[in-house]
């Protein structure tokens, strides 16, 4: 199956998309995709072309994605919050000559700085699904077009340099929607898409997976607490895919009545602190199924099953995906011990765009190396310990910031917390804790240190504690540790 075949999985008259006041049945959805397809073909888009998609969440995003892929072209979703320089870099790297955009992009200076001489055509995405007279129907894809052809390039956040483009095939993405089938979404369910569609978690889990079973997708262009809560209530949303920061705000602002139709809540994108999980479940009586994934895996790798979630775990590996936990030499670690998670399966990317050496390193031995340290219990549930690159080495001892952060979150008054490695002349590295407090609360750092000392080895206790109004976050909701460290080193955080 190709990704664009998902538009035909629902009953013809069933509701496919709700986008504010607009509603589209599956039949109308297909018509809009066909209109988009014809417009793009008339504009010169052909098989193998890379087409940029620069827009907020909308029905048009979905029409365009399906229209592009049905021509055998490759979608490159672009984060609409990026600077002109960052956008120009992606356009140059992917070789994009057509960009569908909701607002004109002024990229001339940035393109010139990058010495990029591509002639980029900008098309207004806002009417892309409407019929236009005089445009002939685009030809069908050749029978030789394979499910192993690329359908999208997802650019990673680039925390260690320029972003890399993870190339996902039709098989990768469709396989991942099938691997999620145990989450129990059915045609009668209504799924909220509030996470950004340019990010693979929001797109696969809250758009493609529901379409694969003929369900309804309700689209919000961004997260605002009031609109999100009213939409959940008014549209009788059953399934939520969100990040921890949204979990926390829903617990604070939504009522039990607002959330009464919700049957499933999945948290991903970043690790879910236990305190946030427990508070949400305590108020609404709905388990949060924490999952784990990466852009390179389309994205889902693990997911807690709704009938048996395990608090603190990101769940077992999804069906059909092979996995191992290995040490630095590539050997399997003993049961219960932590090691790097490596995986292989139909949802694992083809590779990084135009980066054969980086691809070879990431896929060495035939396994995709996630860069995440995990341990597994006797039932096969995984617990993510930390990112390998976030690990702090102090006096030769390994410190995993997440372990320390989990305890800090349990201390009264703490709202957000991040532990980051900083230079230490004696120990090489030491931990520094950056935190914000809940509204109306104060935190006594001396008492916090005593709490940590009672629960951790002394070498794991952060050397410094710095209060902030709020912690910076990435566009996908993760606490931006790199930004914190940069600002701290520049003396902007005291």
Q: Which of 224, 40, 245 is nearest to 129 (CA)?
A: 40
If you ran DSSP here, which 8-state letter would residue 126 be given? G
Q: Please give the helix or strand (H or E) that residue 60 lies within, else none.
A: helix 59-70
pTM summary value: 0.85
CB atoms within 10 A of CB 117: 8
Task: Report residue 58 CA to chain centroid gap.
Answer: 17
Q: Which of 95, 85, 74, 73 is nearest to 141 (CA)?
A: 73
> What are the CB-based long-range contacts (under 8 Å, 24+) for 485-491?
485/420, 485/422, 488/420, 488/422, 488/432, 488/434
If you ran DSSP here, which 8-state letter would residue 205 be given? I
> What are the CB-based long-range contacts (under 8 Å, 24+) for 361-364?
362/296
If you ran DSSP here, which 8-state letter would residue 315 be given? B
CB atoms within 10 A of CB 491: 7
Q: Report how far residue 384's alpha carbon sits from residue 276's, in angstroms, rounded to the nearest whole number.
A: 17
What lies within 8 Å, CB to CB, of 447 at 6+ separation is: 411
Tokens for 86, please give them: 């960052």
- Alpha-helical segments (H) within 302-394: 356-362
CB-CB contact of 241 with 201 (8 Å): yes
**pLDDT at residue number 432:** 96
Sheet holding 339-344, edge to edge: 322-326, 339-344, 368-376, 382-387
Q: What is the largest CA-CA distance in the chain?
A: 75
Q: Report how far residue 312's alpha carbon sits from residue 440's, in angstroms, rounded to the nearest whole number.
A: 28
Q: Helix 244-253 to helix 274-284 angle, to the nearest 10 degrees?
A: 40
Cα dist. 21→24, 195, 220, 312 in Å?
A: 10, 19, 11, 39
**pLDDT at residue number 160:** 46
CB-CB contact of 461 with 431 (8 Å): yes
Q: Is the peptide bond before 299 cis (omega within 30 degrees of 0)?
A: yes
Q: Report how far residue 273's alpha carbon sits from residue 167's, in angstroms, rounded to the nearest whole number.
A: 31
If you ran DSSP here, which 8-state letter would residue 149 be given? S
pLDDT along the chain (494 residues), means of 10: 97 98 98 97 97 97 98 96 87 96 91 89 95 93 95 77 90 98 97 95 97 98 95 98 90 96 91 86 94 95 95 94 94 93 98 96 95 94 86 80 90 94 85 95 95 88 95 82 91 86
CA-based radius of gyration for the chain: 23
User: What domains sit in the chain, N to C, each tagged with a CATH number?
Assistant: 1-387 (3.40.50.12780), 391-489 (3.30.300.30)
């Amino acid at each position: 199956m190709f990704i664009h075949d998902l538009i035909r999985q629902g009953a013809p008259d069933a509701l496919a998309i709700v986008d504010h006041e607009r509603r589209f049945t599956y039949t109308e959805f297909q018509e809009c995709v066909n209109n988009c397809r014809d417009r793009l073909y008339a504009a010169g888009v052909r098989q193998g072309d890379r087409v940029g998609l620069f827009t907020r969440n909308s029905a048009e995003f979905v029409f365009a994605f399906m229209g592009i892929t049905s021509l055998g072209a490759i979608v490159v979703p672009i984060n609409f919050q990026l600077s002109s320089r960052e956008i120009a870099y992606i356009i140059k790297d992917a070789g994009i000559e057509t960009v569908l955009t909701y607002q004109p992009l002024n990229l001339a200076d940035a393109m010139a700085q990058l010495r990029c001489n591509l002639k980029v055509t900008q098309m207004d995405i806002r009417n892309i699904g409407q019929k236009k007279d005089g445009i002939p129907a685009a030809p069908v894809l050749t029978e030789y077009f394979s499910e192993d052809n690329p359908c999208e390039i997802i650019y990673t956040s680039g925390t260690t340099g320029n972003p890399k483009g993870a190339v996902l095939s039709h098989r990768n993405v469709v396989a991942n929607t099938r691997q999620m089938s145990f989450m129990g979404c059915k045609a009668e369910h209504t799924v909220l898409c509030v996470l950004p569609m340019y990010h693979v978690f929001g797109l696969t889990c809250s758009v493609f997976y529901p379409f694969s079973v003929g369900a309804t997708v309700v689209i919000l262009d961004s997260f605002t607490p009031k609109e999100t809560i009213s939409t959940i209530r008014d549209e009788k949303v059953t399934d939520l895919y969100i990040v921890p920061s949204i979990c926390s705000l829903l617990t604070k602002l939504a009522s039990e009545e607002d959330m009464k139709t919700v049957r499933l809540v999945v948290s991903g994108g970043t690790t879910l602190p236990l305190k946030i999980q427990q508070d949400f479940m305590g108020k609404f009586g709905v388990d949060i199924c924490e999952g784990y994934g990466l852009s390179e895996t389309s994205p889902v790798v693990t997911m807690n099953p709704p009938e048996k979630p395990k608090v603190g775990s990101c769940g077992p590996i999804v069906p059909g995906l092979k996995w191992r936990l290995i040490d630095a030499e590539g050997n399997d670690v003993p049961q219960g011990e932590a090691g790097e998670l490596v995986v292989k399966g139909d949802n694992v990317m083809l590779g990084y765009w135009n980066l054969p050496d980086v691809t070879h390193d990431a896929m060495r031995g035939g396994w995709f190396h996630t860069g995440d340290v995990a341990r597994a219990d006797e039932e096969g549930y995984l617990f993510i310990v930390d990112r390998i690159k976030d690990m702090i080495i102090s006096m030769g001892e390994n410190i995993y910031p997440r372990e320390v952060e989990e305890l800090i979150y349990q201390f009264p008054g703490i709202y957000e917390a991040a532990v980051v490695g900083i230079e230490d002349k004696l120990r090489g590295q030491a931990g520094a804790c950056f935190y914000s407090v809940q509204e109306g609360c104060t935190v006594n750092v001396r008492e916090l240190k005593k709490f940590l000392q009672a629960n951790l080895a002394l070498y794991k206790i952060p050397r410094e504690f710095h209060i902030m109004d709020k912690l910076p976050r990435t566009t996908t909701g993760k606490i931006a540790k790199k930004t914190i460290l940069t600002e701290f080193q520049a003396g902007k955080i005291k």
